[in-house]
Amino acid sequence: MRKCNVCKMKKPNFWFKKKPNGDFKKTCRGCERTWWRGFLRMLVKQRELSPAERLGNRLGYMGTAFIMMSPYLLPYDNIGAYTYLAGAILSLPQVWLAKQWNLVVVNLNLLIGYGLYLFS
Binding site for Zn ion (CB under 5 A): 4, 6-7, 28, 31
Nearest approach in angstroms of CB 50 to Zn ion is 36
Distances (CA, A) of 71 to 55, 88, 104: 26, 14, 20
Nearest residue (CB) to Zn ion, 11 versus 115: 11
Nearest approach in angstroms of CB 41 to Zn ion is 17
| H-assigned helices in 12-78 | 29-32, 35-43, 51-73
Q: What are phi and psi of 66, to 5 degrees?
A: -60, -45
Nearest residue (CB) to Zn ion, 31 versus 79: 31
Nearest residue (CB) to Zn ion, 28 versus 67: 28
